[in-house]
Amino acid sequence: MTSRSLAIRDATADDVDLIFRFIERMAEFDGRLGALQATPEMIREGLFGAVPHAAVLLAEVDGVAVGFASYFRTYSTFLGRPGIWLDDLFVDGEARGCGIGTALLRHLARMATACGCGRIEWTAGIHNDRGIDFYRRVGAHIRENVRLCRLDRDAILRLADSDSA
């Protein structure tokens, strides 16, 4: 990327279709395209509606979007500080290995520093060796002793409607 211009910018509502295409490519890359439930309209509402739930950074090389990071704010009662949860980090195939992912994470780290965040966290697939190696190179500590717990929409509804302990 010696003579190319890399820019990281906040996504706007005009970028929803682009963001959705990245989400589709990421789902395809992860072998989970069939599990994708989001629509562009849902992304628009979630990112740019009356109460935004997350935000997106776009990475552009010479004005062409090549990757994105979606994130939202968290709070740690253990640290007594805010944090950032990195939900997605994706760089298009031809742009991988050129420092785009590092630039997106660096931008998030600078945001976290400015907001007094105590940490940035995310998950990585257990078999995503290339990603895990990358995360280690940027200084992440991989916590092997933690399991991700999730209530999907049906489980949320069942729990909300239950009266038993």
pLDDT over 80 (residue 1): no
Q: 20, 68, 90, 135: which one is catalytic?
A: 135
Q: Rounded to whole angstroms, how far apart are CA atoms 6 and 96?
A: 13
0.75 exceeded by the pTM?
yes
135 part of the active site: yes
List the domain boundaries for the chain. 6-161
How many helices (H) and strands (E) would you count in the chain?
Answer: 5, 5
Here the tokens at position 94 are 């031809």
Tens digits of residue pLDDT in 131-140: 999 999 999 9
Determine whether 19 is exposed, middle or buried from the number of CB atoms within 10 Å of its CB (0-12, 13-18, 19+).
Answer: buried
Pick the CATH number of 6-161 from 3.40.630.30, 3.40.50.460, 3.30.530.20, 3.30.70.20: 3.40.630.30
